[in-house]
Structure 1
Amino acid sequence: MTITDLSDVATLLQRMVQIDSVSGSVCGRDRSEQPLIDMLHRQAKDWGLHPTLLPVPGHADQLIITARPPVEGDTRPLLLFDSHTDTVGVEGMTVEPFAAEVRDGKMYGRGTCDTKGTGAAMLCALRQYAETEVQPVRVAVLFSVDEEMSMDGIQHFLTHDYEAVVGDAASVNVIVGEPSDLRLYVVHNGVLTWKLSTSGVAAHSSRPSNGVSAITPMLTLLQAVEALYIPSVTACHGLTGTAACAVTMIKGGHSPNVIADHCEATIDRRLSAGDVSETPELATAALRKVSACLKRCLGDAAGTPEGISFCTHARTSTSPCPS
């Protein structure tokens, strides 16, 4: 079996990049990845491969492609490739994000590296493998959705489609096409995203005493998180390093001349692999202790106005994957 003609990979990649598949959570479009999934579905059929759409509630379909139709009782080992179809946003890019322009042997555009490039290479390799007479291993390519935000796609695949895809395979190996400078990674940290919110009472800024700012207690809360919680994040793994936590976003208020009645902050928490204390549930419980303590302090402080409330909830939760 010879190496796939790189021009085939480049041509397919160019078509993929030219389809805007920015994550729906970023661009605001429902099923924003569906046009790309549909194109890949058609291409797989044109190449004589066997594509199957896998519905994901609230998102575009996912796509699993095999060299041959599934056969019950097939015990050959399964090699599963995965590449996600969504991308991050295009804000701040200095090149046309969907032109897929080639300059000096390099292609430029959103998703060329993360991860449409690997997806194009995987599909072209599967096409070539499908043409071989002897296939000692079952090979499948999964195009998953919503990786950049909540990872709903791969989680739905694992809970609803994985067993059917694996079938009677004697063993399963999975290669995920994330950019890694061609280094092999066998473990990764988990991710947990929290939103903290504070509420107050709106009023015109010319009469601030008539309102209650939601921004002021948020600043106090975040200072407490950075002083009391983040230093406690010390779990470490030999391959992935130390767990991490950072305040990444904050927004509040509606107008420059109105006291803000709502403020929201986002905290990104990276969970260390291989540590039993590093679970989404335990991490959230620890953060809630900080916010609950602060709420009591503010409530007990003399002159603290009523109407302040705190809440925390996990928007994104993915446990670490051990080696």
Structure 2
Amino acid sequence: MTELDPAPLLTDLVRLPSVNPRGGPGDGGETAVAEYVRDWLERHGVRAELDEVLPGRCNVVAVVPGRLETAVLLESHLDTVEVDGMTVPPYDGEVRGGRLYGRGACDAKGPLAAFMLAAAELARGEPPLHTLVLAGVCDEEHAYRGVLRLLERLRGRRFVGAIVGEPTGLVPAVAHKGVVRYTVRTTGRAGHSSRPEEAVNAISLMAPVLAHLAVTPPAVAPHPLLGPATRVVTRIRGGTGPNTIAGTCEADVDRRTLPGEEPDLVWRQDRDELALLGAELDPPFLVDHALDTPADSALVTALRRALVALGRPDDIAGMPFGTDASKIARTGVPTVVFGPGALRDAHAADESVELAEVESAARTVIATVRGMDAADATDLTDVTVAADAIDGRQESSCG
């Protein structure tokens, strides 16, 4: 294996701003990163091309041909969150103490760089058994339209599994929570604050709803890797002025779901529960399913073997937040989340990643792909995108 130095590559990626425009027109940042990924891969012998998802916003998809047409998918995202409040220069790619600092260094340009290094190495020498598909997608931090477009493009291709690049500290994450986000509302009667007896204060009506949500967890058994389902109020709005009693009050609720919970049923149960307190619920404005990949699936097994071979533990984990993995897994492809970096460093004011960990991630992915054999073909899955497999209700990333 050749020397894998992630510093020059990751520095270049961080120096390309790619803040998600969150529904706006965008400034081409995601496409600039996609173009860089394409050009870098092609210089290293990997065929790649852009795929426009939205005007001026592109995915990039690359292929390393294998001896079989069956494929392993590596997927990570090109966009980042905003840079407001950062305490390090967001786009310098400064290296200190073996860590590279800047927006996206951890989430998720570090994992993306690891995947690119792995693809370049796999393109050298004898082809791997399974074809490798590497995708960098846009819009993960908002409405995940990049991964939905990718799945449409890959319709019909056969996969043995997928690795989604996110900061997991090099621990394979085979499960993560889903989410149902909805608005709960109480309705009173507006009036002048000097004559409260003539009004019904919707904010006061909301108080028992908030108290109930604070002390009543979802009635579902904990998951062994994810722990309990959760339900929390994240925003509240009520009133129109300092001298007007509020006629309506609204609160947004974030309900984190566990594998096996159906989002629509979760919402209906919450609707009926909170109706007893005089509240009404709007339909969810965001829905995402949980992830629960069998630990003995072919790709997870190969990934854990590779970690052991490289002297690392082969523990598996679950994550409380959501990723593109749940969308890929909904098509039937066994999917694991894996990459360098720690969750505490993602979106942080001093976001950074350890360069040695990026290199280790690349070596692990190379060993995983090369370590898969024909027996793994028993896990073959056709990627299909059906209307009931991917839910379109999204306002912002599950995160």
Map of 1:189 onto structure 2: 177
1:211, 1:96 → 2: CA distance?
52
* Structure 1 residue 161 displacement after superposition: 2.2
Residue from 201, 220, 232 that aligns with 1:246? 232
Whether 1:23 aligns to 2:23 is no
Map of 1:127 onto structure 2: 120
| Bigger-Rg structure (1/2) | 1
- Where do residues 150-189 of structure 1 align in structure 2 (5 Å cutoff)? 150-158=143-151, 160-164=152-156, 166=157, 169=158, 171-189=159-177
- Three-state SS of the structure 2 residue aligned to 1:80 is strand
Question: Kindly tell me: are residues 201 and 246 of structure 1, through their superposed partners in 2, closer, same or farther at Cα, counting changes over 3 Å?
Answer: same
2:69, 2:75 → 1: CA distance?
19
Whether 1:314 aligns to 2:284 is yes
1:201, 1:18 → 2: CA distance?
54
- Three-state SS of the structure 1 residue aligned to 2:88 is coil
Which stretch of the first structure deviates more once superposed, 125-134 or 53-62? 53-62
* Structure 1 residue 317 displacement after superposition: 1.4
Whether 1:291 aligns to 2:274 is yes
- Where do residues 215-230 of structure 1 align in structure 2 (5 Å cutoff)? 215-227=203-215, 230=216
* Structure 1 residue 294 displacement after superposition: 2.7
Map of 2:222 onto structure 1: 236
| CA contact 2:71–2:161 (8 Å) conserved in 1 | yes
| CA contact 2:229–2:257 (8 Å) conserved in 1 | yes
- Which amino acid in 2 is paired with 1:315? F
Which stretch of the first structure deviates more once superposed, 149-158 or 187-196? 149-158
- Which runs of 5 or more residues in structure 1 are unaligned? 297-309
Which stretch of the first structure deviates more once superposed, 210-219 or 106-115? 210-219
- Three-state SS of the structure 1 residue aligned to 2:264 is helix
Map of 1:40 onto structure 2: 37
Map of 2:262 onto structure 1: 279
* Structure 1 residue 3 displacement after superposition: 4.1
Residue from 94, 115, 119 that aligns with 1:101? 94
- Three-state SS of the structure 1 residue aligned to 2:74 is strand
- Three-state SS of the structure 2 residue aligned to 1:146 is coil
Question: Kindly tell me: are residues 93 and 124 of structure 1, through their superposed partners in 2, closer, same or farther at Cα, counting changes over 3 Å?
Answer: same
Whether 1:268 aligns to 2:254 is yes
- Which amino acid in 1 is paired with 2:77? H
Q: Deviations over 1:144-177 (max 9, x none)?
A: 233233333324433x12325x2xx4x5221111
Map of 1:307 onto structure 2: none
| CA contact 1:90–1:110 (8 Å) conserved in 2 | yes
- Which runs of 5 or more residues in structure 2 are unaligned? 294-399
2:16, 2:195 → 1: CA distance?
51
| CA contact 1:64–1:140 (8 Å) conserved in 2 | yes
Question: Kindly tell me: are residues 258 and 182 of structure 1, through their superposed partners in 2, closer, same or farther at Cα, counting changes over 3 Å?
Answer: same
1:263, 1:269 → 2: CA distance?
19
| CA contact 1:150–1:316 (8 Å) conserved in 2 | no
Q: Percent of aligned positions with the same letter in both sequences?
A: 34
Map of 2:300 onto structure 1: none
The root-mean-square deviation of aligned C-alpha atoms, in Å, is 3.2
| Bigger relative contact order (CA 8 A; separation at least 6) | 2
- Three-state SS of the structure 2 residue aligned to 1:242 is coil
Map of 1:87 onto structure 2: 80
- Which amino acid in 2 is paired with 1:113? C
TM-score, length-scaled by structure 2: 0.63
Question: Kindly tell me: are residues 258 and 34 of structure 1, through their superposed partners in 2, closer, same or farther at Cα, counting changes over 3 Å?
Answer: farther
| CA contact 2:217–2:229 (8 Å) conserved in 1 | no
Question: Kindly tell me: are residues 200 and 235 of structure 1, through their superposed partners in 2, closer, same or farther at Cα, counting changes over 3 Å?
Answer: same
